[in-house]
A and B are shown apart, each in its own frame.
Chain A
């Protein structure tokens, strides 16, 4: 039996909101990265759900790209986090405000 598309979309929306709230409220850089991954994967879920629903491969292709880009982003992001930690012994984003106007 087919799970209705609305369920996927609702789950995707919930996951995206969770991710967005996580980015906005958390101070730990790693957690913020995880939240960003959550948002990306929420979008991925919506893509594949619709792809299956419309029997089109386009959504699948998008998801592959998103996964690839996300992997690269995480690799760069984590290396930056490590570099920041090495210099400041701290990854609390509220302390990283030296670009303040």
Chain B
């Protein structure tokens, strides 16, 4: 094996700590967090995440010092059943270190931000005791994500894969008693969990097939054997990669399983930023990049993956145009950007996909956190406005009479730029980066994907280019609706900037989003060379395409046109309060389709959910109730038992046992009744019988 040549020791023995430090933070907060102040709980959680980042940096430096040679750190024996051998081992290579740096780095900033955000959120939602739970879940998430990226086998990856799914579920339903009808958030959590289970079936099938074909799940061994098997039966590898794609569509929210991600916005906004934008949803991209030695062997699978990614990127971008909820726009944008990444890794442009993953983590985390700042700014404004009118210390009671105020609806915003300066500027940076305007990070990463696509797959290239245009348009629309123009509600008029603990992470992320492109400039390709160490270990040739001016010009031009169009519709003449969206007049039913998400949820309900519910009704009514309960349990089991019991009761107990007992008693009574006749009470009778007895005995003795 390759890793055996590399020495394990020194810095690399720290590798397990990236899992155990956040775990320790979580356990500490679980045990003692109840007695600590909010600042301390949040501080400990952030410190755990930050320390993890430091370890990741150390691992990265150590890896750089030995020229990117992958290292496997064995930790524990796990499953040894016959030929099936899987251990807990930590794989440190440039790919996993990249993921660790992103997860822990962005994660730490989001932890710090959450200290401020959750402080207000728990007050707003009315349950401050849940502040600690939030950070417990967040640290657990970091630990699980680390297992996912650092695992040395598909099984260990799957442990993390499921673990982050669990954290996602727990955090989407964080305010489980809130939302539509009081269960909206819980339903959103369930939806995410169930849709992910569908994807996980694909993951499991992929692993079963892997083990069946390769007899091992360890990365090194699988990738060593892969070329041989591809030479004889490429269909196996095709099957494995396609099963894996099903898992990817679930976790990374691709068509057809993307529907859970927009609903996942029910979670607190830092969760949306960390889990549902920057890290967890990129696990699918990481999986494909990790499995690069498999995917490159079957071009057919690669085409399917690229097409799924391209379609998702385009489809989700159209939906994002029609959304009015500030977080829903970003959610569909995330789905769309994940489509870019999946398309990239599908085409074999692993470096481009991973590069976009990193820069997307920066600017999308930034956008989500900034939108959280906007939402809380609106809430503060709403609160202030309410106080000014009523001087009521308990505004919640009065509120119930009015229609509920939605602090996430962009139609209620407008003109926030003046009131929230920092948030406004970082949002602009994030939006421009997402739109792909040079020289921000999004331009370089997206452009690299487009460049690769223009060479490898024209269909995907066209889809992605159109998606990039839509991206610029909906981000322009959002910025103008939220920050510019005139306030469209009283809350927006009084909105207030967030505290420094929230804005500081925003500024850092903004810097990262701005300069992230430096990681992989078209000339030096620093990031590309860094990742090459991992891929070259499996003899994958990573050719870097030269910078192409036409591709960059087209995408930049389209982005500028998108922003200009957004300005034409939303900037030149800002929306008035209660005004219809100007796009509706132009696009008509197409805009309604965008707004209603192309009725995908309704179609899924019609095709899958409702038939499934009806099928379960049938099963419940006929199979469970009628057959099992009414017939089998009631008639067969209970009926025959009753009859047996009746037989025992009447025949055996009453018929035999009782008769014996009663007969004994009755017989004794009858005999006694007859015997008592002898007892006359007259002395002479006794004397006579005595006398006769003596006579008889003596007579017998004499006459014998």
Contacts and interface: CB of A to CB of B under 8 A. Distances in A.
Interface stretch (B193-201, B209-217, B304-312, B682-690): B682-690
Given A24-B688, A24-B691, A101 B683 contact: no
A96 interface: yes
3 closest A-B pairs (Cβ-Cβ)? A101-B679, A97-B681, A100-B681
B683 A93 contact: yes
Interface stretch (B106-114, B536-544, B584-592, B670-678): B670-678
A87 interface: no
Contacts of A97: 680-682
Interface in A48-101: 93-94, 96-101
A20 interface: yes
Contacts of B676: 101
Interface of B: 675-684, 687-688, 691
A29 to B, nearest CB: 9
A1 interface: no
Interface in A23-37: 23-25, 32
Nearest to A100: B681
B684 A98 contact: no
A76 to B, nearest CB: 16
User: Which secondary structure characterizes the binding site on chain B?
Assistant: helix
Contacts of B683: 32, 93, 96
A36 B679 CA distance: 22
A20 B678 CA distance: 21
A99 B681 contact: yes
A99 B679 contact: yes
A23 B687 CA distance: 8
B684 A93 contact: yes
A93 B682 contact: yes
B680 A100 contact: yes
Best-buried of B678, B681, B682, B687 by chain A (most CB within 10 Å): B681
Contacts of B681: 96-101
Interface string A1-42: 000000000000000000010011100000010000000000
Nearest to B677: A101
Given A24-B691, A100-B681, 16 more contacts: A20-B691, A23-B684, A24-B684, A24-B687, A25-B684, A32-B683, A94-B682, A97-B680, A97-B681, A97-B682, A99-B681, A101-B676, A101-B678, A101-B679, A101-B680, A101-B681
Contacts of A93: 682-684
Contacts of B688: 24
Contacts of B680: 97, 100-101
B130 to A, nearest CB: 88
A100 to B, nearest CB: 3
B675 to A, nearest CB: 7
17 contacts: A20-B691, A24-B684, A24-B687, A24-B691, A93-B683, A93-B684, A94-B682, A96-B683, A97-B680, A97-B681, A97-B682, A99-B679, A99-B681, A100-B679, A100-B680, A100-B681, A101-B676
A96 B679 CA distance: 13
Contacts of B677: 101
A26 B684 CA distance: 8
B675 A101 contact: yes
A88 B436 CA distance: 132
A98 B682 CA distance: 9
Nearest to A32: B683
Contacts of A32: 683
Contacts of B682: 93-94, 97
Nearest to A96: B683
A86 to B, nearest CB: 19
A32 B682 CA distance: 13
A1 to B, nearest CB: 32
Nearest to B683: A93
B685 to A, nearest CB: 9
Contacts of B687: 23-24
B687 to A, nearest CB: 5
Contacts of A94: 682
A66 to B, nearest CB: 17
A97 B682 CA distance: 6
Contacts of A100: 679-681
A24 B687 CA distance: 7
Contacts of A25: 684
Nearest to A20: B691
A25 B685 CA distance: 10
A26 to B, nearest CB: 9
A99 B681 CA distance: 5
Contacts of A24: 684, 687-688, 691
Nearest to B673: A101
A23 B684 CA distance: 7
Pick the most buried of A25, A32, A94, A101: most chain B CB atoms within 10 A of its CB. A101
B693 to A, nearest CB: 13
A32 B683 CA distance: 10
A17 B675 CA distance: 30
A39 to B, nearest CB: 10
Nearest to B695: A20
Contacts of A96: 681, 683
Contacts of B684: 23-25, 93
A23 B685 CA distance: 10
A27 B679 CA distance: 18
B674 to A, nearest CB: 10
A99 B680 CA distance: 8
